[in-house]
Amino acid sequence: MKKVLLSAVALLAFGFANAQEEEKGNGGFSKGSMFISGAFSIDSESTDDVKSSGFEIEPKFGYFVTENIAIGGKLGYASMKAENGLGDTQDETALTVGAFGRYYMTPASQFSLFGEFGVDYSTIDNKLADYQENEIGVNLGLGLSYFLNNNWAIEATWAGLGYTTNDNGGDGAEKTNTFGLGADLRSFGFGVIYKF
């Protein structure tokens, strides 16, 4: 009887330890966690004599200051060039600096919903027209993270509310102010993040 009882206790202890090990492998965030994400794209298009090409890179970094709150920043650079058959060209570059804050509802679990508030500042330099635009954007959105393992997660975001102001090059130019409420639930952004 004693052997059966000890065997049952050992089996329960092994099952509990195995469940704990599996739970650790499911990921999730905690205070002090850091993550990286971002965007990278290259494009090229040609129609008859009209050619355009461009690229964009925008790494993003986040740090959990508490169990539920993450803060972070991003730095982006984009370049676009276009030329038509008449010799007209366009050459633009953009530099973006941004900061964001997130509140996670269930940060330690494999699946977590979060709200994000972000502020971006961009300068768009049109080299041929020799002017520079300055743009400030504020957005509020929702997102969710699903951990595939302890380090990799799939992320879906929805920018629900946004405001942007652009000075259109300054020097007396009219400003463009844009306010948007993203009620289109088909416009989700998907990405991958790495937690370390």
pLDDT tens for the 196 residues of the chain, in order? 444 433 443 433 444 444 444 444 567 899 999 999 988 899 998 887 788 899 999 999 999 999 999 999 999 999 998 887 676 778 889 999 999 999 999 888 899 999 999 999 999 998 877 778 899 999 999 999 999 999 999 999 887 888 888 887 767 778 888 888 775 666 678 889 999 8
Burial label for 26, CB within 10 Å (0-12, 13-18, 19+), is: middle
CATH number of 2-195: 2.40.160.20
Question: DSSP label at 106?
Answer: S
Burial label for 58, CB within 10 Å (0-12, 13-18, 19+), is: middle
> Residue 1: what pLDDT?
43
C-alpha pair distances (Å), 73 with each of 121, 188, 190: 11, 21, 18
Q: Count other Cβ atoms within 10 Å, centred on residue 142.
A: 16
pTM: 0.75
